Amino acid sequence: MLAASTPPRGRAQFHRYLAKYDGRAPRYTSYPPATEFTPEVGPETYRQWLAELDPGEAISLYLHIPFCKRLCWYCGCNTKVVNNQALISRYVESLREEMVLLDDALPGRLPVKFIHFGGGTPNLLSRDDLTTLFGAIRHVFAVAPGAEISVEADPSVLTPQWSTAAAHHGVSRVSLGVQDLNPAVQSAVNRLETFEQLKAAVDSLRAAGIAAINFDLMYGLPKQTVAGLIHTIDRALTLAPNRIALFGYAHVPWAAPHQRLIQATDLPDTDGRMDLADAAAERLMAAGYVRIGMDHFALQEDPLAKAAHSRALRRNFQGYTTDPCPTLIGLGVSSIGRLPQGYVQNASSEIAWRTALDQGRLPIHRGIAIDAEDRFRGDIIETLLCHLGVDLEAVCGRHDRTLDHLIPERVALADLVHDGLLARRGETYHVTEDGRPFLRTVCAVFDTYRPESAQQYSRIV
Ligand SMILES: C[S@@+](CC[C@H](N)C(=O)[O-])C[C@H]1O[C@@H](n2cnc3c(N)ncnc32)[C@H](O)[C@@H]1O
Ligand code: SF4
């Protein structure tokens, strides 16, 4: 691996890189990024795209549950605080109606291999809600035996009863939000969660037979220190999670106004963020976790680590995944779907989403059709994000193009090679250890949409 043979340089060098290459860029969970979606793609286009799907090809589902018991001030997700279970059950009923509309538009009962429940806090769904939802899913779709069914969950509200019900319906993986267990950090972001709550959640999931456990950790939060984060990691590792996502806090108060409740003066600066990220990564790798892509770690025998090893790793709206299905159908407020023809996004407000359903319309508000050029560039960007490197000749071959198609991009890459952020062998480029924090900078070289809208994104480093 070229990356391993390139020793990292010091902080002075890092600051030179920052001055030249830092900026803003999408997280590239899709290409083109969601900021490019427009109302030109609406329910009619979606209906046509759905009708054209191959009824024999397996698909994936994403269901968004936009409710939480509390509002964590750092949170960038589309969610709101709800303390009334009836409102959640009403939402589930609307999800069922959305599936009825989809049933009408799809060319058959499509096989499903991956289902992901995101949020918000999907473990706020009651046993009855889960029964309604899984009943509707299995009615409209043919859930394959052994399908991966994963759920994002808040450990502080996870009950043993929920674990049992989830396991009963086939849930096989749960991602628990940990972030940071230090009370000073927790009170600076309004998220109190004890180690005991986390342990009880893990124990109840395992007791119910849900063996695959992911933890979400964050760096770059207010009041965070390296020693405190390492202490969090050491405690978390005593529970032996299968995967860990280590997210850099994205401070985007223009998109998530409640983030203004975080005191900007309490946030670590860029050096502080790097110290946190580096120390956390080092600790996780020393504990035997394989580093994957930008921000994931997994035990060697976990399917994500195996997929990274065999170059089968993919990236979608949920981040890094083993899911290879070309079609992802999104359900619920603000959820994004990917079809071979392009991307679609549901209405972001619950009222607009529900109004569409009441009127018998698929609740799509925007999207984008993709062409061969988007697929080509999306392939390069996904390959870079998954493997920290790309063989441009191979990608050109897959998309019936020659290297001449990428003349300005290769000039930009030569600059990155010269500065030591990339290593090059022939037309294969690999991100060096120095280049790792600038991976999105490298991806942005291939992004033809970015220049007009870069200000909307989070900082790269
Ligand atoms: C949709 S949340 C669901 C987790 C669950 N509700 C909980 O809080 O435990 C998934 C993860 O996104 C991450 N996250 C949320 N806001 C973020 C932000 N602004 N920047 C980076 N990561 C963020 C957190 O690590 C969180 O656990
Ligand atoms: S981090 Fe989880 S619990 Fe907190 S507001 Fe976001 S989705 Fe809700």
Predicted pLDDT at 454: 59
Could you tell me if 272 and 389 lie in one domain? no
Residue 201 counted as domain residue: yes
Atom from ligand 1 closest to the CA of residue 120: 6
**Full domain range(s) for residue 380:** 3-28+372-456
| 133 plus 58 within the same structural domain | yes
108 and 73 fall within a common domain: yes
pLDDT for 308-319, tens place per residue? 999 999 998 888
CATH classification of the domain holding 18:
1.10.10.920
Contact between residue 414 and residue 423 where contact means Cβ atoms under 8 Å apart: no
Domain boundary among 331, 358, 386: 331
Nearest-10 Cα torsion for 62, 67, 73, 77: 20
Looking at the structure, tell me whether residues 120 and 58 fall in a common domain: yes
Cα(336) to centroid(ligand 2), Å: 19
pLDDT of residue 7: 46
In a domain, 390, yes or no: yes
71 alpha carbon to ligand 2 midpoint, in Å? 6
Based on the fold, state whether residues 163 and 205 are members of the same structural domain. yes
Ligand 2 within 6 A of CB of 60: no
| Ligand 1: residue whose CA is nearest its atom 26 | 177
Show pLDDT as tens, one digit a residue, over the chain (461 residues).
Answer: 334 444 455 778 888 888 787 777 788 999 999 999 999 999 999 999 999 999 999 999 999 999 999 999 999 999 999 999 999 999 999 999 999 999 999 999 999 999 999 999 999 999 999 999 999 999 999 999 999 999 999 999 999 999 999 999 999 999 999 999 999 999 999 999 999 999 999 999 999 999 999 999 999 999 999 999 999 999 999 999 999 999 999 998 988 999 999 988 999 999 999 999 999 999 999 999 999 999 999 999 999 999 999 999 999 888 899 999 999 999 999 999 999 999 999 999 999 999 999 999 999 999 999 999 999 999 999 999 999 999 999 999 999 999 999 999 999 999 999 999 999 999 999 999 999 999 999 999 999 997 555 566 667 67
- The answer, yes or no, to whether any atom of ligand 2 lies below 6 A from the CB of 121, is yes
Task: Return the residue whose CA atom lies nearest to atom 7 of ligand 2.
Answer: 120
Question: Is 344 within the bounds of a domain?
Answer: no
Among all ligands shown, which has an atom nearest to the Cα of 120? 2
Q: What is the reported pLDDT for 455?
A: 62
- 239 and 307 in a single domain? The answer is yes
Q: Which atom of ligand 2 is nearest to the CA of 179?
A: 1
Å from CA of 178 to ligand 1 middle: 9
Residues 163, 244: one domain?
yes
Pocket around ligand 1: residues whose beta carbon is below 6 Å from it? 68, 74-77, 118-119, 121, 152, 154, 177, 179, 216, 218, 247, 249-250
CA 319 to centroid of ligand 2, rounded, Å: 17
Beta strands 389-391 and 364-369: pairing type?
unpaired
In a shared domain, residues 12 and 100:
no
Residue by residue, DSSP assigns 211-265 as: -EEEEEEEES-TT--HHHHHHHHHHHHTT--SEEEEEEP---TTTSGGGGGS-GG
Q: Are residues 14 and 81 in the same domain?
A: no
Give the pLDDT score at 453.
53
From ligand 1's centre to the CA of 75, what distance in Å? 6
Atom of ligand 1 lying closest to residue 75 CA: 16
CA-nearest residue, atom 4 of ligand 1: 177
**178 phi-psi bin (left φ>0, alpha ψ -120 to 50, beta other):** alpha
Is residue 358 included in any domain, yes or no? Answer: no
What is the C-alpha to C-alpha distance for residues 101 and 136, in angstroms, rounded to an integer?
12
CA of 242 from ligand 2 middle (Å) equals 21
User: Of 331, 354, 383, which closes a domain?
Assistant: 331
Q: How far, in Å, is the centroid of ligand 2 from the Cα of 232?
A: 19
The ligand whose atoms approach the alpha carbon of 221 most closely is 1
Q: Which residues contact 6 (CB under 8 A, 6 or more apart)?
A: 420, 423, 432, 433, 434
Give me ligand 2 centre to Cα 72, in Å. Answer: 5
Q: Which amino acid residue places its CA nearest to atom 3 of ligand 2?
A: 68
Q: By the 8 A CB rule, do 291 and 281 touch? A: yes
Residue 5: the pLDDT is 40
Q: Amino acid letter at 148?
A: E
With a 6 Å cutoff on the Cβ, whether 218 touches ligand 2 is no
pTM: predicted TM-score of the whole model, two decimal places:
0.94
- Do 233 and 128 lie in one domain? The reply is yes
Cα–ligand 1 centroid distance for 405 (angstroms): 39
Backbone angles phi, psi at 25, to 5 degrees: -160, 155
Calpha distance 7→325 (Å, rounded) = 37
Determine if ligand 2 sits within 6 Å of the CB of residue 189: no
Does 261 contact ligand 2 (Cβ within 6 A)?
no
Residue 150 inside a domain? The answer is yes
Q: Report how far residue 72's alpha carbon sits from residue 377's, in angstroms, rounded to the nearest whole number.
A: 35
Q: Do 114 and 8 fall within a single domain?
A: no
Mean pLDDT over the full length of the chain: 94
The DSSP secondary structure of 153-204, one letter per residue, reads E-GGG--HHHHHHHHHTT--EEEEEEE---HHHHHHTT----HHHHHHHHHH
* Nearest-atom index, ligand 1, CA of 176: 9
**Would you give the DSSP letter of residue 452?**
G
In a domain, 461, yes or no: no
Q: Is residue 153 part of a domain?
A: yes
pLDDT tens-digit readout, 375-432: 999 999 999 999 999 999 999 999 999 999 999 999 999 999 999 999 999 999 999 9
- Where does a domain end: 331, 364, 382? 331
Which ligand has its closest atom nearest to the C-alpha of 72?
2
Query: What is the position in ligand 1's atom list of the atom closest to the CA of 119?
Result: 1
Within a domain: 352: no
Confirm if 87 and 79 have CB atoms less than 8 A apart: no
Q: Are residues 22 and 67 in the same domain?
A: no
Neighbours of 88 (CB within 10 A): 21
- CATH number, position 176: 3.30.750.200
Q: Are 232 and 217 in contact (CB under 8 A)?
A: yes
Rounded to the nearest angstrom, the distance between the alpha carbon of 216 and the centre of ligand 1 is 7
- CA 175 to centroid of ligand 1, rounded, Å: 10
The region, left, alpha or beta by phi > 0 then psi within -120 to 50, assigned to residue 335 is beta
Among 69, 70, 75, 82, which is best to mutate for testing ligand 2, by the most ligand atoms less than 8 A from CB? 75
Number of domains in the chain: 2
Rg for the chain, CA atoms, rounded: 22
